[in-house]
Amino acid sequence: MSTFRKAQALALGLLAGVGLCGTGFAKDDAARLKALQSRVLAIAAETQYVEAITQVQRLGRAFGYYTDKGYFGEAADLFADDGTFQWGVDGIYKGRAHIRELLTRHGGGSLKEAPGLPFGRLNLRMQLQPLVTVAADGKSAQARWREWGLLGQYKKEAFWGDAIIEDRYVKDGGVWKIAARQYYQNFEAPYQGGWAALKPVTGNWQTAVARDFPPDAPAPQQYRPFPAVFVPPYHYAGGSLVSIQSRPAVDPPKRADDRLGKLESLADDKERQLARAHSVRAIENLQAMYGYYIDKGQWQQAAMLFDRKGRYEFGQGGVYVGTASIERGLSLMGPQGLEEGQLNNYVMVQPIIHVSADNRTAKARWRSDVQLARAGKGRWGGGVYENEYVNDKGTWKISTLHYYVTFWGDYDQGWAAKPFPVDLPSSLVPPDQPPTVVYQSFPKLQVVPYHYANPVTNKPHAGE
């Protein structure tokens, strides 16, 4: 049983206990009992909300694992009976049978033979960076995903794939299912030359799959893939902060030392545990949102995710303090909205998040593998974030974002042959403060300080 399920069971058990033994309390405790019952019901509802985020994340990741190996029927089974799949500008496919055939054709599987991929076919489609928003009634949800693809055929061809996915989910008979998937393909680039060598697409760029297997309905929106600049619509557009909110931090109340007070204290403990679990999900969404904004050169939107006294530090570029200054620092990556032919993919993966006991602050470590392109030049990158966050009246914000560069490398030569040095502070957009740590990137070894002790030994890293 998951942590959230245990919390829910405890909450419901507490509610039942209060109802069963309510006659054992004094008459003047009626108001306290009613308030406690309301709190326990709220705990159960919030537990379901947080658990829903976890279940939606699992659903999206399961899709990737099935399509990786050519189990397209299992992937299609993740959809509702009337589910839909919009593939790029090809159009919309309706129902599980059509979705299964769509995935099979794109994945290189067989429509006649047993499930699975033929010999030599590679179809790795990694589902990364989920940003999940659950509706208030708990019956539907939306999510944004990044897909990073490694595709090809043994000794024939190899491709990189890049896409943004916007999903809508529905809870059907107690089970979460994909109701609609919008798959915004950004590019499929040959390994030789990579994404930076791609030429602008003109005319009808529907795939061969759409020509051989027509969709059930046309795509509602037309766009051009990379190197054109296109921002797939956000399901959280319009300034919505629901996905990065949790409970505001509050001091624990003092409870009476009586029978009912002990039940109230137990409910307090469960609320604090749930609040921290909810905050972990909100911080996951916050960092994912930051990544999606900087991918598309939306510096103002990214800067607004910081606390007003927030700090931004990238490599050896120095520290920018406050949202206006952070926006200036982010603009060193390129013009607002990027330029044609510019790729700025920073994938936010592998989080380790720790929320403080009082739910006021948090720390997290992330990995980011980077795909860049500009002026026809492709670049690899990699690094680690050690970030800090603050709970601002229930809305999580970034208080310190520190990206430690592990390496930069030319796309064609790779990261080992001729790595690039880390950038120094800009003279055109100078930082407010010098770098907090002076280091060199690969081939030098830079151990980024861990904000946490070893989870098993509880000892700090030996090198610190």
Least confident range of 21-30, 32-41, 208-217, 355-364: 21-30
Mean pLDDT of 282-310: 97
> Is the pLDDT reported for residue 112 higher than 90?
no
User: How confident is the model over 235-278, as pLDDT tens digits?
Assistant: 987 546 788 999 999 898 899 898 888 999 999 999 999 999 99
- pLDDT at residue 9, as a whole number: 58
Mean pLDDT of 229-233: 96
Mean pLDDT of 103-131: 93
Q: How confident is the model at residue 16 (pLDDT cuts 50, 70, 90)?
A: low
> Is the pLDDT reported for residue 32 higher than 90?
no
Angstrom distance (rounded) from CA 94 to CA 205: 21
Angstrom distance (rounded) from CA 51 to CA 379: 39
Residue ranges of the chain that CATH labels 3.10.450.50: 1-235, 242-420
Percent pLDDT > 70 in the chain is 93
- pLDDT at residue 21, as a whole number: 47
Check if the beta carbon of residue 126 is closer than 8 Å to that of residue 149.
Answer: yes
- pLDDT at residue 13, as a whole number: 59
Angstrom distance (rounded) from CA 251 to CA 49: 23
Angstrom distance (rounded) from CA 422 to CA 430: 16
* Helix (H), strand (E) counts: the chain: 9, 14
Residue with tokens 């509602």: 220
Q: What would the two tokens of residue 77 be?
A: 């089974």
- pLDDT at residue 4, as a whole number: 46
Residues 6+ apart with CB under 8 A from 284: 130, 131, 351, 353
Q: How confident is the model at residue 20 (pLDDT cuts 50, 70, 90)?
A: very low
What CATH number has the domain spanning 1-235? 3.10.450.50
Least confident range of 127-141, 301-315, 448-462: 448-462
Q: How confident is the model at residue 462 (pLDDT cuts 50, 70, 90)?
A: confident
Q: What would the two tokens of residue 436 be?
A: 């907090």
Q: How confident is the model at residue 464 (pLDDT cuts 50, 70, 90)?
A: low
Angstrom distance (rounded) from CA 179 to CA 169: 5
User: How confident is the model over 140-155, as pLDDT tens digits?
Assistant: 999 999 999 999 999 9
Angstrom distance (rounded) from CA 362 to CA 245: 14
Strand 395-410 and strand 306-314: the pairing is parallel
What CATH number has the domain spanning 242-420? 3.10.450.50
User: How confident is the model over 431-459, as pLDDT tens digits?
Assistant: 999 999 999 999 998 899 999 999 999 99
Question: Nearest CA to 298 among 309, 307, 311, 289?
Answer: 289
Q: How confident is the model at residue 57 (pLDDT cuts 50, 70, 90)?
A: very high
Arithmetic mean of pLDDT over the chain: 92
Angstrom distance (rounded) from CA 262 to CA 49: 26
Q: Helix, strand, coil shares of the chain as percentages rounded to 5? A: 30, 30, 35
> Is the pLDDT reported for residue 25 higher than 70?
no
Q: What would the two tokens of residue 27 be?
A: 């008459």
User: How confident is the model over 337-383, as pLDDT tens digits?
Assistant: 999 999 999 999 999 999 999 999 999 999 999 999 999 999 999 99
